[in-house]
Amino acid sequence: MPSRHAEIAGAGLGGLAVSISLAQRGWSVRVHERSDTLRMFGAGIWLWENGLRSLNALGVESEATKRACRIDTLVARDQRGNALMHREFGDKDRMVLPPRADLYDALIARAQELGVEIRTSSTAVAARAVGELELEDGKVLNADLVVAADGVFSRVRESLLLTKRVDYLEEGYTRLLIPRIEGDPASEITEYWSGSRRLLYDPCTEDMNYVCFCCNVDDVAGRAVPVDKGSWLKSFPDLGGIIERVGDDGRWDRAIRVTCRHWSRGRAVVVGDAAHGQPPNLGQGANLTFQNALSLADYLDRTSDVESALTMWEKGERPLTDHVQRWTDLYGRVASAWPDRFAHRRSQFLERATKVPWVDNQLNRAARHIPVGAP
């Protein structure tokens, strides 16, 4: 098949993953990043088995996870310390937790190794189905494939009229890294629940832990940055050893869900948060992005007709992505929507529900999925 060319809007995780996937299959690729530098927000990231398999196929798994903690168990606990959910990981069902910056740097290095051109201070504003990407300076670039990977508020997606809904949800998150000290759990993620608040502790590297504070949008003290340590200590009095290590960095982000009418139009396609932005309750957003980026190139290899390939790709890959969006929303509602006086009922419900095999299969369907194009 003759060499083909792709223009990609956005040099985040999704844009870089697609660039690598295409370049590995002989495409010439140019990526446009509106910022003047390539940088990544400093927190950790959950990499499930499906994401790790995808990153391995992209040639970045080893470098991205070289400092990461290997997770053995994931536990959710209520305000009394009772375990609401317990999940174990093994050699064929892994969870690894690197700093997000390590993953980003590995993707950048791999893209450059494959000859991908990355242009900073280059803002894409629109695309056309015929395979054109328009830049802010008015220049129009032609390509066999145009990719919108410019995030939840994608201008390129909207120019193609692919947006169905962008929903602002009722919860948000402050994510940051804290110093690790002797005695910290080295291989267990714990999500602590207290009323509508959650505090997530994640081992990340030998010297850092990743923590996430989750609360409703109306919780003014909960969403404050710097973190209002006194307020969070009232909710989690036994977690002072974690909360007191929190610095003044971090940011609070409201949860957003993106739903597309379609993932493509003509020879233009959306990927990552631009296609399926979602709250991080199941930690699958980036993992789905990696597996969808990998499979996209596989489908494009099957035919010279780009439009047909994109249609087949969405038909094959979207059902799982939609499933995860539904279940991550459900998880957030169950966690945050119960009044404090009914917290014990929530604990009873979750303790029983998460032991049902069907529920376990729904929550972990993506993690146990073998991505198209992965060994």
pLDDT reported for residue 1: 60
CA distance 195 to 191: 13
Structure token digits, residue 314? 């969405």
For the chain, which residues score pLDDT lower than 50?
Answer: none
Among the listed residues 308, 105, 64, 83, the one whose alpha carbon sits nearest the alpha carbon of residue 204:
64
pLDDT reported for residue 2: 66
pLDDT reported for residue 344: 65
DSSP-derived 3-state class of residue 16: helix
pLDDT reported for residue 338: 64
pLDDT reported for residue 187: 96
Q: What tens digit of pLDDT does each residue of 31-68 get?
A: 999 999 998 776 999 999 999 999 999 999 999 999 99
**CATH architecture of the domain with range 5-167+255-363:** 3-Layer(bba) Sandwich (3.50)
pLDDT reported for residue 313: 98
pLDDT reported for residue 355: 79
pLDDT reported for residue 340: 64
CA distance 34 to 225: 26
CA distance 77 to 97: 20
Q: What tens digit of pLDDT does each residue of 90-102 get?
A: 999 999 999 999 9
pLDDT reported for residue 354: 75
pLDDT reported for residue 84: 82
